[in-house]
């Protein structure tokens, strides 16, 4: 799998630990925040869970609270060793950039409060690592994540981006030239969450 991404931040990485590493990827957004959990065992990736946190139509502080609260539940449920968050770039709309940055801050705070190292990658690094091109379309990311993790169907765009962040970090920290897809897993659980195991 192409890509030469390297993590930024998170110097307390547990990449050297023995056995599978569980990585939580987060695609932050004020309206929709995607999350994806994978286990990395050498060159093999195993899908664990993914889903989307929907914050509703309340005020910005209320929605940021939903992100922090629900990610705390995800962290407690799946006990990852590391967290990966997509880095935000300034776009043409400064208000949107500010709100996205706040959502990202809520996600990072949730991980920090859990005592976990947080790593950051740019969207281009993530796409390069997963698809092989930094300008890949979202549909390409969805298709490649479905293939790499042997999912029964396309994940939602937000969940796919979160899973892609986790895969990117797994690739960057193992130094493997390719990742092997995991065995097929079933869907289940809540409507906003794809799960392969309880």
- Interval 92-105: pLDDT, tens: 788 888 899 999 99
Q: What is the pLDDT of residue 52?
A: 97
Catalytic residue among 70, 82, 86, 161: 86
Domain segments of the chain: what residues? 21-195
Catalytic residue among 39, 70, 120, 158: 158
- E strand intervals along the chain: 21-27, 32-41, 44-54, 82-86, 118-121, 193-195
Q: Is 77 a catalytic residue?
A: no
For residue 17, what are the contacts with CB-CB under 8 A and spacing of at least 6? 81
Catalytic residue among 27, 39, 82, 161: 27
Q: What is the pLDDT of residue 197?
A: 38
Q: Which CATH homologous superfamily contains domain 21-195?
A: Ribonuclease H-like superfamily/Ribonuclease H (3.30.420.10)
Q: Is 86 a catalytic residue?
A: yes
Q: What is the pLDDT of residue 188?
A: 35
Alpha-carbon distances of 104 from 109, 151, 195, rounded to whole Å: 9, 27, 24
Give 49: exposed, middle or buried? Use CB within 10 Å, 0-12, 13-18, 19+: buried
Q: What is the pLDDT of residue 11?
A: 37
Q: What is the pLDDT of residue 178?
A: 44
Give pLDDT < 50 ranges for the chain: 1-17, 176-198
Q: What is the pLDDT of residue 102?
A: 95
Q: What is the pLDDT of residue 138?
A: 85
Q: What is the pLDDT of residue 97?
A: 86
pLDDT in tens, 104-128: 999 999 999 999 999 999 988 999 8
Q: What is the pLDDT of residue 93?
A: 80
Q: What is the pLDDT of residue 90?
A: 66
Reported pTM: 0.79
DSSP letter string, 1-51 = -------BS-TT--TTSSS-EEEEEEE--SSEEEEEEEEEETTEEEEEEEE
Q: Is 41 a catalytic residue?
A: no
């Amino acid at each position: 799998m192409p890509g030469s991404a390297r993590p930024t931040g998170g110097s307390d990485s547990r990449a050297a630990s023995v056995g599978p590493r569980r990585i939580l990827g987060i695609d932050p957004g004020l309206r929709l925040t995607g999350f994806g959990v994978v286990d990395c065992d050498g060159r093999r990736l195993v899908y664990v869970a993914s889903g989307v946190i929907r914050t509703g139509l309340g005020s910005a502080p209320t929605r940021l609270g939903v992100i922090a609260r629900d990610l705390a539940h995800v962290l407690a449920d799946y006990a990852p060793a590391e967290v990966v968050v997509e880095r935000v770039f300034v776009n043409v709309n400064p208000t949107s950039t500010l709100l996205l940055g706040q959502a990202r801050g809520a996600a990072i705070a949730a991980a920090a409060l859990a005592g976990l190292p947080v790593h950051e990658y740019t969207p281009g690094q993530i796409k390069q690592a997963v698809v092989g091109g930094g300008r890949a379309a979202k549909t390409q990311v969805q298709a490649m994540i479905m293939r790499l993790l042997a999912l029964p169907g396309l994940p939602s765009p937000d969940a796919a981006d979160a899973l892609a962040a986790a895969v990117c970090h797994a690739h960057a920290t193992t130094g493997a030239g390719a990742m092997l897809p995991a065995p097929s897993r079933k869907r289940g659980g809540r409507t906003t969450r794809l799960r392969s195991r309880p």
